[in-house]
């Protein structure tokens, strides 16, 4: 079973189209999106349209929920740069879609000897705005995966991809937990401007105690960064957002 996970598209249509084209060549069994379809760029409605067209199961990100308070632009004549402009571009039907997205998704697989529980969140299971950074103490991570019964915990939000494996086994037994940050399709912050998503391969004939039952691959996809950056500069969004795209910070 091969699962593709992507997150933090942030209305970057060129990046999202490049990722969709790459997915077509790899043909995963399922594709999930961990939220933040909007914000920072000028194509929120087109991105939402493609997510829906491709039937990608999606959860809400913190930027998606901002549209509850920032209504579509209606004759706004302001010429000043404003980060809220990204949310004012979201249409009414697209806004309704974002506000009905679930906060978490749980997937269960049957391995040889037990279930494998995958939990998909945006920030963390505790808060949509919480950052689960790679340098967090292992005990902190263990408490989260135990509390929420997650063998594999997948999340985005920080735009910095990583895969971390921790063992919660006791008395000589092994129980591996995988923590996977998907990185960002449309606004990477790890110094690599290419779009990022994750492929998870699950060996359903493996033992649940086998660390290699789950394989994780980070896929980087080239796209027209300059097109996205120039679209920002031609809009009422802050020009700093264009610099973020070019330098991936």
Give residue for tokens 């593709």.
Answer: 4
- Does pLDDT of 203 surpass 60? yes
Domain range spanning residue 18?
Answer: 2-247
Give residue-wise pLDDT tens across range 75-112. 555 567 799 999 999 999 999 999 999 999 999 988 77
Q: Please state the pTM of the whole predicted model.
A: 0.94
User: Which of 9-18, 42-51, 144-153, 199-208 comes out lowest in average pLDDT?
Assistant: 199-208
Q: How confident is the prediction for the chain on average, in pLDDT?
A: 93
CATH of the domain at 79: 3.60.21.10
Structure tokens at 16: 């999202």
Structure tokens at 167: 């063992």
CA–CA separation, 198 and 107 (whole Å): 16
Q: How many domains does the chain have?
A: 1
- Does pLDDT of 136 surpass 90? yes
């Amino acid at each position: 079973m091969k699962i593709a996970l992507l997150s933090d598209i942030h209305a970057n249509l060129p990046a999202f189209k490049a990722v969709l084209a790459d997915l077509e060549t790899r043909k995963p069994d399922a594709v999930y999106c961990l939220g933040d379809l909007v914000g920072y760029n000028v194509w929120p409605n087109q991105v939402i349209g493609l997510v829906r067209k491709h039937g990608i199961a999606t959860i809400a990100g913190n930027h998606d929920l901002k549209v509850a308070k920032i209504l579509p632009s209606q004759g706004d004549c302001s010429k000043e740069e404003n980060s809220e402009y990204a949310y004012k571009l979201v249409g009414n039907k697209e806004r309704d879609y974002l506000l009905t997205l679930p906060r978490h998704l749980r997937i269960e697989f049957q391995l040889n000897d037990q279930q494998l529980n995958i939990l998909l969140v945006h920030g963390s299971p505790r808060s949509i705005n919480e950052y689960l950074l790679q340098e967090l103490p292992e005990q902190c991570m263990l408490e989260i995966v135990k509390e929420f019964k997650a063998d594999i915990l997948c999340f985005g939000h920080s735009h910095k991809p990583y895969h971390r494996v921790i063992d919660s086994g006791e008395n000589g037994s092994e129980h591996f937990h995988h923590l996977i940050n998907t990185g960002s399709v449309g606004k990477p912050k790890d110094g690599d401007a290419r779009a990022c998503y994750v492929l998870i391969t699950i060996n359903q004939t493996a033992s649940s105690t086998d660390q290699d039952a789950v394989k994780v691959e980070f896929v980087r996809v080239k796209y027209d960064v300059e097109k996205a950056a120039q679209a920002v500069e031609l809009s009422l969004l802050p020009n700093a957002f264009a610099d973020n795209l070019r330098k991936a910070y």
